Structure 1
Amino acid sequence: MKQHEDVHTLAAAYALNALDTGEREAFAAHLDDCEACRLEAAEFEATAARLAAAAAQPPPASMKERVMSSIDGVRQLPPHLSATTRAVRPRGVLRDRAAAFAIAAAVAAAASFGGLAAWQYQQGERARQQAVQAEERLRDISAVLTADDARTVRGRTTNGAATTVVASRAHDMAVVTASGLPAPASGRVYQLWLDHDGTMLPAGFLRGDGAVLVEGDTSDASAVGITLEPAGGSEEPTTTPLLLMPMPG
C-alpha cells in the first residue's frame, strides 16, 4: 500500500480492479471517510465499463504494474463538488484526470484486444471444424463411389441437368451427382428428398454441379427426389419434383 499521503492516487487503480487484496481493502476503508475519492472511483468505474462494454475481459497480470507506474507521483485531486463544498478547482486537476482517464482507456483497449483475440481463435476453430467435416464428407463420398456393391441410377432433371444416384448398401449411404444444373433463382435452393413409403423426408441440399452425400437413412428409402425450395429448405416439398429416381438396389 502506498504512503497515506498518496492514498488519493489509488482511485483509478481501485476502479479498474488493479490493486492487490490488501490495498483494495485498505482503500475501501478509506472510501468510508472520503467523499471525493468515492466520487472519483465511481466516475472511473463508469468510464471503464462504457469503454470495455463490447469486450469485457479480466485485466492482464502486468496491468497493475503499468497502472501504478503511470500514476506514480500524480495526485488525483477530488472531483468538482458543489459551490458550498469547493469554489475553485486547483490548476492541474484536468491534467491529472485526463491521465487517469487515459489509463482507463488503456485498460479498455487491452480488454478489447483480448476480445478480438478470442474472436479470432473462435473463427479459426470454426474453420478447422468445417475443414474436418468437409474431409469426412469427401471420404464418405469416395467410399460410396468406389464400393464393391455400388449401384447407379441415371436420370435428367426437368431443367436439363444430368443426374445420378449411387448407393452402397454395405455403407448404408448414397451419393447424388449433378452436371449442368442451372443456378437457382434468388432465394431458392435445390433440396434433396428421400421417399419412405410415400413420405418425403429432407435429405440435404444440392449446391450445384458435383457430388453430395445424401443425408438421412437410405436403407429403406425407395427413391430420391430433387425440388426447388425457399432458401433454408422446407420440412416437406412445396414444389413439383424436378426429378424422382428410384434408389439403386
Structure 2
Amino acid sequence: MTTSDLHTLTGAYALHALGEEERDRFERHAADCEACAQEVRELTATAARLGLAEAAGITPELKARVMRRITTVRQEAPRTAPATPATPPAPVLRRVRRPRGLSRWALAACVAAAAAFGGTAVWQHDRAREARTQARDAERRTADLTAVLAAPDAKSRTARLAGGAGGTVVVSAARDEAVFISSGMAKPPSGKVYQLWFDDAGTMRSAGLMDPHRTSEAVLLDGKLAKASGMGITVEPAGGSARPTSAPLAVLEFPA
C-alpha cells in the first residue's frame, strides 16, 4: 500500500471500518500527516452528529440467528480409513494369556480418555455459554449507546485533546447518560489504560475504561450523569483505579 493509498483511508478509519493491519499502518501515517489527522477529526465529529439524527438498533432476527448458530456448531467428524475391497480369511487365533498389568493399563487409558473427552465437552459448553453472555452484553451496550446518540434531547460538544486528538461528548438528560467519542488518541503506555471519569463538582467518579488497543472509539460512560457537570480522562494502571492517580489529560464540560 502506497502513501497515496493511505490518504484515502481517513473515512474508513473514522468509521472503524479498517482491519487491524490497515489501522496500524494508517495510524503510523497519520502521526506524521497533519492533513489526514485533521480530516479524521472532522469526519469523526461529523459521524457523531449524523448519529444524533438517526440510528438503527440490532434487530431481534439478527440476535436470534447469531444465538442459534452458536449452539449448532459441531466438531468435525473423525476421518475413517476406506474399506478394503476384500477381506482375507481370518487366521486361526490362539488364546494367549496376557499379563494382568496390561489390562490394568488399558483400563486406565480408557478412563483417562473418557475423562479427557468429558472435560473437553464441558470446556466447549462453558466457552459457548461465555460467548453468548458476551454477545448479549455487547448488544445491550451497543443499543444503549445508540439510544443516547439518537435521543431527541441529545446535545454534543467537541474539543481538541492533547497531541492533536479529538473528542466529542454526547449527553442525553432524559436518559441520564453520556457517550464519549475519541479520534486519533495516542495508545496508552504499556500496562496502562485510559480511564473516563464523571466530574461531580471537582470530585472524579469512575465512568469506565477505554480499549487500550484502539485510538478511536465510541464509549458509553459507565453510570448515570446525576449531578456531573463534565467528564475527564486520565492514564491509569491496567484494570483502572478507584480514584485518579494522574493529572487529567482533558476535562470536557457537558453541553448545557
TM-score by length of 2: 0.59
> What is the 5 A alignment of 1:98-137?
98-137=102-141
Per-residue CA shift, 1:45-70, capped at 9, x if unaligned?
xxxxxxxxxxxxxxxxxxxxxxxxxx
Alignment partner, residue 139 of structure 1 = 143
Alignment partner, residue 202 of structure 2 = 198
Q: How far apart, CA to CA, are the structure 2 residues paired with 1:142 and 1:125?
A: 26
Q: Which runs of 5+ in 1 are unaligned?
A: 1-90
Alignment partner, residue 248 of structure 2 = 241
Asked whether the equivalents of residues 159 and 242 of structure 1 are also in contact (C-alpha less than 8 Å), the reply is no
Q: 1:151 aligns with which of 150, 155, 158?
A: 155
TM-aligned CA deviation for residue 100 of structure 1: 2.2
Alignment partner, residue 192 of structure 2 = 188
TM-aligned CA deviation for residue 229 of structure 1: 1.0
- Give the CA RMSD over aligned residues: 1.5
Corresponding position: 1:217 with 2:243:
no
TM-aligned CA deviation for residue 152 of structure 1: 0.6
TM-aligned CA deviation for residue 197 of structure 1: 2.5
Specify the SS of the correspondent of 2:190: coil
* Percent identical residues: 47
Q: 2:236 aligns with which of 225, 229, 241?
A: 229
TM-score by length of 1: 0.60
Q: Once superposed, which parts of structure 1, at least 4 consecutive aligned residues long, lie more than 2 Å away?
A: none
TM-aligned CA deviation for residue 92 of structure 1: 5.0
The residue identity in structure 1 corresponding to 2:105 is: F
Q: How far apart, CA to CA, are the structure 2 residues paired with 1:108 and 1:149?
A: 62
Q: How far apart, CA to CA, are the structure 2 residues paired with 1:178 and 1:240?
A: 19
Q: How far apart, CA to CA, are the structure 2 residues paired with 1:114 and 1:170?
A: 51
Q: How far apart, CA to CA, are the structure 1 residues paired with 2:184 and 2:104?
A: 66
TM-aligned CA deviation for residue 109 of structure 1: 1.2
Asked whether the equivalents of residues 172 and 218 of structure 1 are also in contact (C-alpha less than 8 Å), the reply is yes
Alignment partner, residue 62 of structure 1 = none
TM-aligned CA deviation for residue 165 of structure 1: 0.5
Per-residue CA shift, 1:158-183, capped at 9, x if unaligned?
22210011010111110000011111
Specify the SS of the correspondent of 1:174: strand
Task: Report which structure shows greater RCO (CA 8 Å, sep ≥6).
Answer: 2
Per-residue CA shift, 1:201-222, capped at 9, x if unaligned?
1110122311010002212111
Q: Which runs of 5+ in 2 are unaligned?
A: 1-95
Per-residue CA shift, 1:119-164, capped at 9, x if unaligned?
1110111111111111111111111111100011111222221001
Which structure is larger by alpha-carbon Rg, 1 or 2? 1
Q: How far apart, CA to CA, are the structure 2 residues paired with 1:248 and 1:105?
A: 68
Count of matched residue positions in the alignment of Structure 1 and Structure 2: 158
Alignment partner, residue 78 of structure 1 = none
Q: 2:183 aligns with which of 163, 179, 183?
A: 179
The residue identity in structure 1 corresponding to 2:102 is: A
Asked whether the equivalents of residues 169 and 219 of structure 1 are also in contact (C-alpha less than 8 Å), the reply is no
